[in-house]
């Protein structure tokens, strides 16, 4: 039913390109959705991509350009003249156009903009380029549909037809006054349903949900998600309507935020995927491994300081991995719950001490269950009662400590405006591992020495 890129199809493409078979491209690729074509170009090699791209006609090639992955798009832009790029930007929304050229060198951006025929369009793109990518300004499009509060439905319809020509999607109609200040929205439903003579002012809904160009992308995402919006208006500090952000751009933000937390929790320090090069993948993975190495050395010093005890009682070493792993697991669990609540803006309004008491409750249950189990196991398999007690009490203490520590650290980081996701993954595992060994050997020392 839907296009699915297969290895076989990629092989066919390679063969066709090698034979300069333009008919193949026209029959099998040009008919696809721009998103699918972009996916093909992302997967084939550079020469093949260039060959295919040159067969696509004007509007289609612009749409494909919007959908390409950044690194592939840069290769394409490098092979096009400023005039050719400008031609591609003519038919697409200002926000997509700004995205496409934003990473070009400044002099090239200026040259591209000077080649765009419609001055209003190039002006809008140029304005959008001033905003940071991660803000509402960087996400918004300057194209939107607007009507005046003093008009009738009939007058509006005429105006909207003109505006619609420039806007690729229509979701919400914004209602402004004569100064272009946002007053509310008009749903398409009420528009369709209303009589021609009805005045907009009798029909529109006062709707205060808007953001400014400097609102962070994350905050925009939280608002749109919370209120189930498909589009959100952007206003300046005097409430003049300057743009709108649509949900498709925000879905990407929502997804990236969630993935960032996942990668952080997995010890990966930059956004990578399995198609990246070995070097990029290594660069993303080595930093947290170095933290782990450092933690491992600290751990060796902790255990090393109990050298004498280990010589007398080498059986203590057997349970080092258990203590380390459980501390790490419990810490990751408790911090993950806090990190996710912060990311979702759904953290309970309870005080920190109430949160800690709750975590204490969980830790006491988990600690009792797991401590009893390991006591039973060691006792049944013939360990001395003192050893069984050492291991089970240590495990209990480590679980309680790691749970509270894992809850506190992300809360503290968040208060200091540091990304709390830093607290999940390798950091918390490493810390709890070390402190866990300290607890374990201290309790052993207490029982035996």
Query: What is the contact mask toward its own copies in residues 351 to 370, using x (rule: CB under 8 A)?
Result: ----x--x--xx--xx--xx
Q: In 282-405, which ranges are E strands?
A: none
Checking phi first, is residue 417 left (phi over 0); if not, alpha (psi -120 to 50) or beta? left
Q: CA separation (Å) from 250 to 215, 223, 315, 449?
A: 13, 10, 55, 61
Binding segment for its own copies (CB under 8 A), chosen from 19-27, 115-123, 126-134, 337-345, is 337-345
Binding segment for its own copies (CB under 8 A), chosen from 114-122, 123-131, 132-140, 281-289, is 281-289
* Residues near 416 by beta carbon (within 8 Å), at least 6 away in sequence: none
Restricted to residues 398-417, the positions that interact with its own copies (CB under 8 A) are: 399
Minimum distance from residue 56 beta carbon to its own copies (Å): 18
Restricted to residues 243-272, the positions that interact with its own copies (CB under 8 A) are: 246-248, 251, 254-255, 258-259, 261-263, 265-268, 272
**25 or 247: CB nearest its own copies:** 247
**123 or 292: CB nearest its own copies:** 292
* Residues near 41 by beta carbon (within 8 Å), at least 6 away in sequence: 49, 52, 53, 64, 68, 72
Binding test (CB under 8 A) with its own copies, winner from 110, 132, 188, 202:
188
Restricted to residues 86-145, the positions that interact with its own copies (CB under 8 A) are: none
Q: CA separation (Å) from 340 to 42, 216, 251, 335, 430?
A: 32, 19, 18, 9, 20
Restricted to residues 28-87, the positions that interact with its own copies (CB under 8 A) are: 33, 35, 43
Other Cβ atoms less than 10 A from the Cβ of 411: the count is 18
Binding test (CB under 8 A) with its own copies, winner from 137, 138, 233, 328:
328
Question: 3-class DSSP state for residue 394?
Answer: helix
Q: Which tokens hold the place of 315? A: 């059986």
372 binds its own copies (CB under 8 A): no
* Residues near 214 by beta carbon (within 8 Å), at least 6 away in sequence: 131, 135, 136, 137
214 binds its own copies (CB under 8 A): no
Restricted to residues 282-321, the positions that interact with its own copies (CB under 8 A) are: 282, 285-286, 288-290, 292-293, 295-297, 299-301, 303-304, 307, 310-311, 314-321
Burial class for 38, CB neighbours closer than 10 Å (0-12, 13-18, 19+): buried
184 binds its own copies (CB under 8 A): no
**177 or 346: CB nearest its own copies:** 346
376 binds its own copies (CB under 8 A): no
By C-alpha distance, which of 45, 8, 42, 9 is closest to 24? 9
């Amino acid at each position: 039913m839907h296009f699915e890129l297969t290895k076989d199809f990629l092989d066919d493409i390679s063969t066709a390109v090698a034979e300069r078979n333009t008919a193949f491209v026209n029959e099998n690729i040009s008919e696809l959705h721009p998103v699918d074509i972009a996916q093909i170009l992302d997967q084939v090699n550079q020469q093949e991509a260039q060959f295919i791209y040159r067969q696509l006609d004007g509007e289609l090639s612009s749409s494909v350009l919007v959908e390409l992955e950044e690194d592939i798009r840069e290769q394409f832009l490098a092979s096009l003249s400023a005039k050719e790029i400008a031609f591609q930007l003519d038919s697409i929304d200002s926000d997509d156009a700004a995205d496409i050229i934003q990473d070009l060198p400044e002099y090239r951006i200026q040259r591209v903009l000077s080649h765009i025929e419609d001055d209003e369009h190039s002006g809008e793109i140029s304005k959008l380029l001033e905003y940071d990518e991660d803000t509402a300004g960087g996400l918004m499009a300057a194209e939107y549909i607007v009507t005046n509060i003093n008009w009738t439905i009939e007058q509006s319809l005429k105006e909207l037809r003109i505006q619609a020509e420039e806007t690729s999607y229509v979701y919400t109609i914004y209602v402004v006054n004569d100064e272009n200040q946002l007053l509310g929205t008009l749903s398409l439903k009420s528009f369709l349903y209303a009589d021609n003579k009805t005045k907009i002012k009798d029909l529109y809904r006062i709707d205060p949900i808007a953001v400014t160009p400097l609102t962070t992308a994350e905050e925009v995402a939280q608002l749109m998600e919370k209120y189930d919006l498909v589009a959100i208006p952007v206003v300046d500090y005097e409430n003049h309507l300057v743009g709108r952000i649509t949900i498709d751009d925000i879905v990407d933000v929502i997804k990236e935020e969630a993935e960032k937390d996942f990668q952080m929790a997995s010890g990966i320090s930059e956004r990578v995927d399995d198609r990246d090069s070995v070097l990029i993948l290594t660069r993303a993975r080595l930093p947290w491994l170095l933290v782990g190495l450092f933690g491992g050395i600290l751990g060796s010093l902790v255990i090393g300081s109990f050298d004498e005890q280990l010589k007398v009682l080498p059986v203590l070493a057997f349970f080092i991995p258990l203590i380390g792993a459980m501390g790490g697991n419990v810490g990751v669990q408790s911090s993950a719950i806090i990190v996710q609540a912060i990311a979702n803006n759904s953290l309970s309004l309870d005080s920190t001490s109430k949160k800690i008491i709750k975590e204490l409750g969980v830790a006491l249950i988990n600690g009792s269950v797991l401590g009893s189990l390991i006591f039973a196991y060691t006792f049944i398999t013939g360990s001395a009662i003192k050893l069984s007690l050492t291991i089970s009490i240590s495990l209990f203490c480590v679980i309680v400590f790691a749970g509270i520590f894992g809850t506190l650290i992300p809360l503290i980081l968040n208060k200091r405006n540091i990304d709390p996701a830093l607290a999940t993954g390798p950091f918390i595992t490493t810390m709890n591992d070390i402190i866990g060994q300290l607890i374990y050997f201290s309790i052993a020392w207490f029982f035996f020495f």
